[in-house]
């Protein structure tokens, strides 16, 4: 469960905005992702089996980049 759709769901919930309104390539910092929300996202991704790191998400704040990362960091 780590494709773009899954990541988009997590982001939508943390932001309290509909998933359909989020573009895969837009900068999520412009959509209101701040440090605390990012920490929540890290914990959610970890719960779903991805070794996500705060700094990685912070450096490239788009759904596309996070989905790539989630694919690479998924625990077997």
Q: CA 47, CA 32: separation in Å to the nearest integer?
A: 22
Q: CB of 74: closest distance to another protein in angstroms?
A: 17
Looking at the Cβ atoms of 20 and 36, the one nearer to another protein is 36
Between CA 33 and CA 60 the distance in angstroms is: 12
Q: Maximum distance among all alpha carbons in the chain?
A: 33
Give the residues lining the site for another protein (CB under 8 A): 29, 34-40, 43-44, 46-47, 53-55, 58-59
Nearer to another protein, 20 or 75 (CB): 75
Provide the terminal-to-terminal Cα distance of the chain, rounded to the nearest Å.
12
Q: Which residue number, 36 or 76, has a Cβ lying nearer to another protein?
A: 36
């Amino acid at each position: 469960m780590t494709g773009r759709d899954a990541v988009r769901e997590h982001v939508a919930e943390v932001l309290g905005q509909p998933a359909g309104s989020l573009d895969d390539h837009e900068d999520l910092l412009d959509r209101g992702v701040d440090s605390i929300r990012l920490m929540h996202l890290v914990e959610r991704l970890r719960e779903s089996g991805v070794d996500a790191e705060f700094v990685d998400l912070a450096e490239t704040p788009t759904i596309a980049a996070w989905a790539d990362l989630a694919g690479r960091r998924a625990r077997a």
